[in-house]
Amino acid sequence: MLVALGASGLAFAYVALFHWRSDARRTRRVLRRARVVPIAELVDGQLACIVGVVEIEGEPLEALVSRQPCVAFETTVQYFEAADFTYPTRVEVTRRMVPFFVSDGSGRVRVDAAEAALCNRPVARSERFEERILANGARVRLAGSVALEPTIAARGERGFRDGALTATITGTAKYPLLVDVEDR
């Protein structure tokens, strides 16, 4: 009896530790600790964390599993050997994103990244797959690299000095854009 309780307690502790150490949970912890910068105060070439509302720029994507319209999705599929279902033999991650804007009241920034690591709660999940989406209108917290460029109408010297700049937040495959949905 005592051995069975000890074994079940150990199994629960292992599952809790595995869940706490997951990539998505780690990314959420990093984003929660990052200092939020208003969009109006972004600095060129620096990493920044912003909070705002998603505004789609063009046509939405359709998520692979849930078929929901979104601006970004991340689908993770685990493949197992037929004889052993203990550990996956292969894991495939599919990420797609269309450019969109984030607005926080102080300004608006364009988000355009090659890769976006979503860490919000999954909208679809089973033993073999997990899918996260970023919907239009969602309130998000994201971190990425800032690029400031003069607006098209202000390419001359005067426009640059007047501060007519557009901000873009980017990420790469090596350093992806980190995105989490803010719980209201």
At 61 the pLDDT is 93
Which of the residues in the chain have pLDDT under 70?
1-24, 27, 85, 152-164, 173-174, 184
Q: Give me the helices (H) in 50-175, please.
A: 157-161
Nearest to residue 180, comparing CAs of 132, 135, 136, 118? 118
Per-residue pLDDT of 92-122, as tens digits, reads 888 899 999 999 989 999 998 877 788 889 9
At 20 the pLDDT is 41
The full set of domain ranges for the chain reads 36-181
